[in-house]
Structure 1
Amino acid sequence: MKKMNGAARTLASAALLAVTVPAWATNGYFPHGFGLKAKGMGGASIAMAHDAFAGVNNPAQAAVVGSRWDLGAELFNPRRSATISTPMGAMEVESRKDTFLIPEFGYNVALSKKLGVGITVYGNGGMNTEYPAVFPGDTNFFCSGPTTCGSGKLGVDLMQLIVAPTVAYEVADGHSFGVSPLLVYQMFKAYGLQAFGLPNQGQDSSTGIGLRLGYLGKLGDRVTVGASYSPRIDMSRFDKYERLFAKQGDFDIPENYAFGVALQVTPKVQVALDYSRINYSGVPSIGNASLSNFANGFGAANGPGFGWRDVSVTKLGVQWQASSQWTWRAGFNHGTNPVRSQDVYLNILAPGVVRSHVTLGATYSPAANTEISFALWHAKRQEVSGSMPAPTKIGMSQNGIGLQYSRKF
């Protein structure tokens, strides 16, 4: 579906204002996990039904998680920098935007012992940078002088809101299937790209409808397995940026899938392992090579993109129920790097290069129907260097902390 009607666009805009989600980058530009419980376990969530975020983790979980709602928010702190070597010397600059407040919400209702419905509201994205002018004459990396660069600031800002209503049914004892339509609204703006023939265009929006499918199954008393799949979401074009993104402003959401297994090691200790794949290369504006496609011109079907490769992610988490009130979690998340050396220069705008996260979290239950969860995580600095069209190095590190309040009913 390419366009929403006026009422739907108005509703999506209102939702975005209520739940504005700055874009960020972790596994490429997908977060390392959704929900504070999953974030505390390195993002592992596909085979664990412990909150109302089924619409983004695994829709089949809605059949077994019960009636509850979860409201969370996090402070996310990515540190991005770029260094470029010129005849004047090496110049390094950091993105000014480095702290974001990111909310998320999930609601689930058990209509029967086998049927559950819910809704998840979450954000996705990965290109939010603002570099100040770095060269004499108030110019940025991509510009040759203040006449062509305006203020000299360079950056992009992508925001994505996804609303996922969900229905799931237990088709056999311990085996559930679920489906979540994905209603997507995204906004984008870029500035400081006059050197590429693109004057500042301001903010533009795009819409689309996608799908996520899920399965959850118990293999005996100790092992649970799960899987989820979302095909590429066909988004309407960013008309103002038809001369930037390949295929005349097209910026789809890539196909992604995940598999998970959870093992009840002891009555109090559970270990979860997920594998996920994000196929960035299937979206031309993301996957097209930057320099080798440069002659085709920005905006063309085979024009330059960010050159991102597909990303594979392994997520390992452990959960320990220390008492009736306290549950502790830890995890490790490791993914491949989507940015190749030959595409570093354009990825100054979107340096999504971190690979590994360590995480910690816990849940405190003051009453049987109430939970307070927190998680914190760190990704060490990762850098990628390239030599064309000038020696360039981009880098990123991340820290984050979040709090979630949950009620069962």
Structure 2
Amino acid sequence: MRETYQRGFQGAILAMGLMTTGSALATNGYFAHGYSAQQRGMAGAGTALGSDAFVGSINPALLTRVGDRMDFNFSLFSPMRDFTVKNEPDITPVSGSGLFQINRLDEDGRPMDEVRSKHELFPIPGMAFSWRIDDKSVWGITVYGNGGLNTEYDRGRATFAAGDAAQILPLQETCEGSFGGGANVGSPGVFGLCGGEQSDPGVDLIQLFVVPTYAREFGDRLSLGISPIFVAQRFQSWGLQAFARFSENPDRVTNNGTEFSFGGGARVGMTYELASWLRFGASYQSHIEMTNFDEYRGLFQKDGAFDIPSTWNVGIALIPSHNHRIAIDYQRINFNEVSSVGDDLNPNQFVNGCARPILLGGPVDFDTCLGGENGPGFGWHDVTTYKFGYEYQRGDFTYRVGYSNNTQPIQSSEVLFNILAPAVPEHHYTAGLTWQYSNRIGFDFAVMYAADNTVTGKNPLSNVEGGALSLLNGGPNFGTDPNDQDIELSMYQVELTFGVNFRYD
């Protein structure tokens, strides 16, 4: 019986790798709030409380409590993402001069209330397998995904060198696409700043984790577990051609197709039963070093480096009776460890060291350009998440509800580049149930709603204090000021998860 399940699981891993094409995920930054229907039904709470084979994704020590079983999950995830820009040059003129401004216009040049990302429904598969070695030890495999940097905007325009600078030299030009990747609208400027290729900007990041786990009980109260982690991630970007000239590797910024990256790390965990009704759990995932995205080394800092940050979580499980269980978790995701994600956009450094000398001549500090050692990142802060879940069992049914709240990874000063990755939700509400159809087969269901949230900030490249003279001569005038454009990033999410589990002990 076990050999049959093992062969089926090996084939399922291959099938999952194919199914993840085009998927997206974003809840706590670009980390999922949970990786199984049971976890998702409790908002991801469960560091000290595990009941399915997916526990290897949160705390490998919990595998000793699962038994011999196999779980398959399939989610339909729907993120609704949009941005709004105010003080647009084609609607309300921006005073002074600007290096880069965004216009939320449709294909006929009419202003829209918002620019909304396409592709709002994504399939997300997952699977896990566990079986006992002996009375004290167990091993298993968990396969799941992260993602979320998946957007594409098919409307909008961008203006380069706007405002007073056009009165000195014919610098200003407007381009199709929110990041100026398309053709000119009107006459080209002196520098030919439009991308002239694909106008619709977008990015796509997906991470696939394969996590074997070994766990062992020590006495009646303590369990320890360890999981080596193998990761494959995939990325591509498009419609960013206008920014390629401001990179240390201009031909490795955008429109280079799909690129893969591989790496590995580890997760360790423990659980300890303090009393029959109280259990404590903790786990830590290491920083995962990934091979660089060579085809995008002109976009991401340090020649295409895009590692996976370390995370750690602690939790308690309260079990007042056999049919009531409560889980409370604390999770920390250290996005600042990854330069491409955690480093800020420093507008003065980027413009004075890279953009101005490239356009006007002079020594270029390529370390400050896109892809450089000190180039712009997404500016994400570390995320702290609190998760609460409640589970009630009655007969063949188990009912779940949950809530999680995370701190905001995207600060108001970093909204410009995060148009491409607007992971701004903070409050997640979940519910779910399991129907144990027979001793061997059960069915799981979960639903999640992440409430609409908005982060508003300035576009620091849209207005230059001091006007055209500062634009031409440089200086400390490229930070945010009251005349910069206001950008609003908004997002809400809905997710349905279906699962089936098989027990063979």
State if a TM-score over 0.5 links the two structures: yes
Shorter-chain TM-score category? Answer: over 0.9
Q: Which residue of 2 aligns with 1:245?
A: 300
Letter in 2 for 1:309: H
Q: CA deviation at 1:265?
A: 2.2
Q: Are 2:225 and 2:269, in contact at CA under 8 Å, matched by a contact in 1?
A: yes
Q: CA deviation at 1:138?
A: 7.0
1:231 aligns with 2:286: yes
Q: Partners of 1:149 and 1:82 in 2: how far apart?
A: 23
Q: Which residue of 2 aligns with 1:204?
A: 259
Q: Which residue of 2 aligns with 1:392?
A: 487
Q: Partners of 1:223 and 1:363 in 2: how far apart?
A: 23
1:140 aligns with 2:142: no
Q: Which residue of 2 aligns with 1:180?
A: 227
Structure in which a larger fraction of residues adopt strand: 1
Name the SS for the 1:195 alignment partner.
helix
Q: Partners of 2:291 and 2:274 in 1: how far apart?
A: 42
Q: Partners of 1:235 and 1:23 in 2: how far apart?
A: 20
Q: Partners of 2:300 and 2:241 in 1: how far apart?
A: 15
Listed one character per residue, the Cα deviations across residues 215-239 of structure 1 (whole Å, up to 9, x for unaligned) are: 1121111011111101110000000
Q: Which residue of 1 aligns with 2:47?
A: 46
Which residue of the other structure, out of 357, 371, 391, is the alignment partner of 2:428? 357
Higher gyration radius (CA): 2
Q: Which residue of 2 aligns with 1:103?
A: 125
Q: Partners of 1:291 and 1:156 in 2: how far apart?
A: 22
Q: Are 2:178 and 2:200, in contact at CA under 8 Å, matched by a contact in 1?
A: no
Structure in which a larger fraction of residues adopt helix: 2
Q: Which residue of 2 aligns with 1:288?
A: 343
- How do residues 77-96 of structure 1 correspond to structure 2 at under 5 angstroms? 77-85=78-86, 86-89=88-91, 91=104, 92-96=114-118
Q: Partners of 1:329 and 1:374 in 2: how far apart?
A: 10
Name the SS for the 1:116 alignment partner.
strand
The change in CA–CA distance for 1:156 and 1:199 in structure 2 (over 3 A counts) is closer
Q: Which residue of 2 aligns with 1:307?
A: 379
Q: CA deviation at 1:378?
A: 0.4
1:342 aligns with 2:413: yes
Q: Are 1:326 and 1:363, in contact at CA under 8 Å, matched by a contact in 2?
A: yes
Letter in 2 for 1:313: T
TM-score by length of 2: 0.76
Q: CA deviation at 1:172?
A: 2.1
Q: Partners of 1:152 and 1:187 in 2: how far apart?
A: 22
Letter in 2 for 1:141: S
After the TM superposition, which of the residue ranges 375-384 and 198-207 deviates more from structure 2? 198-207
Q: CA deviation at 1:13?
A: 8.4
Q: Are 2:149 and 2:204, in contact at CA under 8 Å, matched by a contact in 1?
A: yes
Gaps of 5+ in 2: 1-12, 92-102, 105-113, 159-173, 184-193, 245-252, 354-367, 462-484
Name the SS for the 1:53 alignment partner.
helix
Letter in 1 for 2:402: G
Cα RMSD between the aligned structures?
Answer: 1.7
TM-score by length of 1: 0.93
Q: CA deviation at 1:135?
A: 3.2
Letter in 1 for 2:125: P
Q: Are 1:20 and 1:161, in contact at CA under 8 Å, matched by a contact in 2?
A: no
The change in CA–CA distance for 1:149 and 1:335 in structure 2 (over 3 A counts) is farther
Q: Partners of 2:177 and 2:422 in 1: how far apart?
A: 16
Q: CA deviation at 1:19?
A: 4.7
Q: CA deviation at 1:23?
A: 2.8
1:192 aligns with 2:192: no
Q: Which residue of 2 aligns with 1:157?
A: 204
Q: Partners of 2:394 and 2:322 in 1: how far apart?
A: 11
Q: CA deviation at 1:55?
A: 2.1
Across the two proteins, how many residue pairs are aligned to each other? Answer: 397
Q: Partners of 1:224 and 1:203 in 2: how far apart?
A: 45
Q: CA deviation at 1:199?
A: 4.2
Q: Which residue of 2 aligns with 1:379?
A: 450
1:264 aligns with 2:301: no
Q: Partners of 2:325 and 2:14 in 1: how far apart?
A: 40
